Amino acid sequence: MPMRNLMCTWILECGALPPLLYFSTSENRRNKSGGKAPHSKIQVHMRFLIGIAVLLCVQGTDAPLRFETTSDGRHVVARLPADFAGKLPAGRLTQEQGEAVLTLSLLQDKKPGPSMFGKYERSGNELTFTPRFPLSAGATYRASLTVVGKTTSLDYNVPMAAAKAPPKVVKIYPSADVLPANHLRFYIYFDRPMRGGAELFKHLAILDEKGKEIDEPWLIEEIWDEENNCLILYIHPGRIKWGVELRQLMGPVLFEKRNYQLVVRGEWTDLEGNKIGKDTIKKFRTTAEDRVRIELGDWKLIAPPAGTRDALTLTLPKSVDYRSLQTGLTVTNAKGAIDGTIAIGKDEKSWHFTPTRPWQAGPHRVSVSPDLEDVAGNTPARPFDMDLRTPKQRAQKLHFEFEPR
């Protein structure tokens, strides 16, 4: 009998785990100081297998819907009638194609919310959905399968994980403590994925010099990076741009020559319910608003010596958006793009490129994306907030030429 079936039979008939799964050596039970020792890798692995077995036993591999747990996270698997499955594309489906058949929603007050985004794949008669973001511990989700007008649903409560070290704010960008009063966005990096949803904005605040919280400063749009560890947080553009009704009604979020604090509250939890614990604070002071385009003529390039792997350096007169500096500059020579690593300097006012191989003599170029932004959203092509009555500026050259010395 396969191990999975044997395990299911034991659990269902005996109401307990097989004795083997309780195995631990005396060395694992106690450490030298007499306290409890951490679980061995075998124990952790067995617990993971047990979790999968319990899920399969309860839901059944032949059921039309089931939740599965793998090392990559949790998935929803729908078993489709053969004739119906054959009408769907094999392999990857679009979000629209997948949602027409299978949806996964967070239950709030026993009512399903919007369908979650994720990846749909059909293999044979099974359609698998992998959510874009990991499921939150303690939350309940509903999977719904619709075939020929008939809908079948299955609810799943994500078990609480064992408590572990609290999550941490790793870094906040811009790193500079002086920002223009029309500053546009922050990047908040965590050491793990955090719990999302509209409530996350309750854990974020800007305080003025008197410690008073600024009302409604944020664009309520949840944006995470590809690894789900960085929140991209926008101050509402409607309170930045001149002539916009929201700014006229509520005023700007930030005023020049004042001190502020960005606060990430300690009540915010990761996906397993662990709280940060204490507030994380970034202090900064504002200068006058910056409403001009990035002038590349103000940048300075320091060329590296030929035959070395010394860094090429660009020094910048004002802070440039952190993620723009990671993606908005490329180095090429006559043979094409040059591979290397990027380092970003203090206050995002310098950019350093170290090639994988030594520099060769001859012409080189640093190309600048027209979409590269400073911290106020201005680009080399235009200011973030442009008065249409102002004469259009002449386009500027979007590259630097240099030769290794």
**pLDDT the model gives residue 33:** 37
Query: pLDDT per residue over 305-349, tens digit each?
Result: 999 999 999 999 999 999 999 999 999 999 999 999 999 999 999
Residue 115 confidence (pLDDT) above 60: yes
- Does the predicted model carry a pTM greater than 0.75? no
**Which residues make Cβ contacts (< 8 Å) with residue 165, sequence separation at least 6?**
274
pLDDT at residue 36, as a whole number? 40
Give the pLDDT of residue 61.
Answer: 54
pLDDT exceeds 60 at position 261: yes
Neighbours of 384 (CB within 10 A): 19
Average the pLDDT over 147-164 and give the result: 86
* CA 93 distance to own-chain centroid: 23
What are the CB-based long-range contacts (under 8 Å, 24+) for 72-75?
Answer: 72/130, 73/130, 73/131, 73/134, 73/135, 74/131, 74/134, 74/135, 74/158, 75/128, 75/129, 75/130
CB-based contact 147:170 (threshold 8 Å):
no
pLDDT at 14: 38
Question: Residue 241 corresponds to which tokens in the numbers above?
Answer: 């741009």
Long-range contacts of 387-395 (CB under 8 A, 24+ apart): 387/242, 393/293
In angstroms, the CA 66 to CA 53 distance is 12
Is 125 a residue whose pLDDT tops 70? yes
Torsion of CA 131, 137, 139, 145, to 10 degrees: 30
Confidence of residue 273 (pLDDT cuts 50, 70, 90): confident
Question: How many residues does the structure list for the chain?
Answer: 405
**Cα–Cα distance, 139 to 170 (Å, whole number):** 26
Reply yes or no on whether the pLDDT at 27 is more than 90.
Answer: no
Residue 149 has pLDDT above 70, yes or no: yes
Tens of pLDDT, residues 85-105: 999 999 999 999 999 999 999
Q: What is the DSSP letter of 173?
A: E
**Contact between 262 and 254 (Cβ < 8 Å):** no
Going through 148-184 in order, the beta strands assigned E by DSSP cover 150-157, 169-173, 178-180
Between 54 and 237, the higher pLDDT residue = 237
Q: Which of the four pLDDT bands, split at 50, 70 and 90, describes residue 62?
A: low
* Contacts with 14 (C-beta within 8 Å, 6 or more apart), sequence order: none
Stronger pLDDT, 63 or 287, i.e. the higher one = 287
pLDDT level of residue 135 (50, 70, 90 thresholds)? confident
**Residue 276 CB neighbour total at 10 angstroms:** 20
Say how far residue 85 (Cα) sits from the centre of its chain.
Answer: 33
User: Can you tell me the distance from the alpha carbon of 375 to that of 284, in angstroms, rounded to the nearest whole number?
Assistant: 13
253: pLDDT strictly greater than 90: yes
**Res 7 pLDDT > 70:** no
Element (H, E) at 246: helix 245-250
Tens of pLDDT along 293-303? Answer: 999 999 999 99
* Rounded Cα–Cα distance for residues 50 and 132 (Å): 25
C-alpha–C-alpha distance, residues 64 and 14, integer Å: 26
What is the per-residue pLDDT for 256? Answer: 97
Q: Of 154-163, 208-217, 361-370, give the lowest mean pLDDT range.
A: 154-163
Give residue-wise pLDDT tens across range 211-243.
999 999 999 999 999 888 999 999 999 999 998
Q: Domains of the chain (ranges plus CATH)?
A: 3-157 (no CATH), 169-287 (2.60.40.1220), 296-402 (2.60.40.1220)
Please provide the DSSP assignment of 22-84 as one string. Answer: G---HHHHB-TTSSBPPPPHHHHHHHHHHHHHHHHHHH-TTSSEEEEEETTEEEEEEE--HHH
Confidence of residue 9 (pLDDT cuts 50, 70, 90): very low
pLDDT at 366: 98
Confidence (pLDDT) at 227: 87
Residue 351 · residue 311 · CB < 8 Å: no
CB 333 within 8 A of CB 364: yes
Nearest to 324 by CA among 394, 382, 374: 374
- The per-residue pLDDT for range 302-311, each reduced to its tens digit, is 999 999 999 9
Residue 287 CA to residue 233 CA, distance in Å, equals 20
